[in-house]
Amino acid sequence: MSATARTTQPAAASRIKVSFEFFPPKNGDMESQLWESITRLAPFEPEFVSVTYGAGGSTKMPTLNTVSRISAETTLSPAAHLTCVGSPREVVDGVAREFRSVGVKHFVALRGDPPEGVGSAYRPHEGGYANAAELVAGLRGIDDFEISVAAYPEKHPESSDFATDIDMLKRKIDAGATRAITQFFFDNDTYERYVERVRRAGIYVPIVPGILPIHNFGQVARFAALCGTSMPDWLARRFDGLEKDPETRALVAVAMAAEQVTDLVERGVDDFHFYTMNRAQLVYAICHLLGLRGNGGTTSSGDKPGSVGAAA
């Protein structure tokens, strides 16, 4: 990867597609932050915006409320995460139908982490979907949804090897998934090698790289250790000494993510999924550096460009 971040050429920027992930708010302050972020990023006209879903349906109502409001008050296309851990099939199917009733036509189908947390042993619910491949098939039996699934450039931490991991991805695609979104990563060579493995396995759906701007290096490093994502030494050195300097840390985070995405664009990638952590500032700056610009249009509320309603 080049040491210098470069803006993309106009022709390349015009091909770039983005999507954004948010999580449902837990209180009023977090809800305000979420909707400020959605308002800020909406003018980039993302392909979709996804909303996460807690294990065993622990955030069912906040997720349902969030995707419902996105559907009703904006021109954005909401995608609801859906997990199968800790619930029987009829409950999961019922949740999918509830989401459909508020306008959701796209699901991000995931097995989900065990209730005890990442790293704990996974046990399928008796009478539930055993894995994400079965969940995809179940969703296909309900309606002709668009379905995205997860992919792991460094393999899922529970997979014994890459062959096993890619076999599971193929099962998800064969069941009806139309896109794979990767776990975040920081080494573009790792992503490129993974895509090569996937294509050799006969998987040809888009493998969209998941990009995580580093708001807090310590938190990201701890999460990366749990989910099997490598944190290169050179990456740690760039954030060294910035623990009490949030302004400089944000500048470094934007430069790092823009450098990563620009390098991927030069390798032929034109579709990116940003894990926003419900914060717009870094993602907005990265998109701007990539040459993307807000469309200047308005949503259904008509208040201002990218508006998502007066209640934001």
| Percent over 70 (pLDDT), the chain | 86
> What does the radius of gyration of the chain's CA atoms come to, in whole angstroms?
19
Is 21 labeled as catalytic in the residue annotation? yes
301 part of a folded domain: no
Of 21, 31, 134, 154, the catalytic one is 21
Residue 117 vs residues 194, 198, 216, 238, 307: alpha-carbon distances, Å: 26, 28, 21, 30, 36
Under 8 Å between Cβ of 81 and 139? no
Dihedral sign from CA coordinates of 166, 167, 170, 171: negative
259 part of a folded domain: yes
Contacts of 216 (CB under 8 A, 6+ apart): none
253 part of a folded domain: yes
154-182 pLDDT per residue, tens: 999 889 999 999 999 999 999 999 999 99
> In this predicted structure, what is the pLDDT of residue 308?
34
Q: What is the pTM of this model?
A: 0.88
310 part of a folded domain: no
6 part of a folded domain: no
230 part of a folded domain: yes
Name which residue leads in pLDDT, 251 or 14. Answer: 251
Residue among 254, 312, 288, 302 nearest 44 (CA): 288
42 vs 169: CA distance, rounded Å: 31
The total number of structural domains that make up the chain: 1
300 part of a folded domain: no
Contacts of 253 (CB under 8 A, 6+ apart): 213, 214, 215, 282
Query: What CATH number should be reported for the domain holding residue 196?
Result: 3.20.20.220
Would you say residue 4 has pLDDT above 60? no
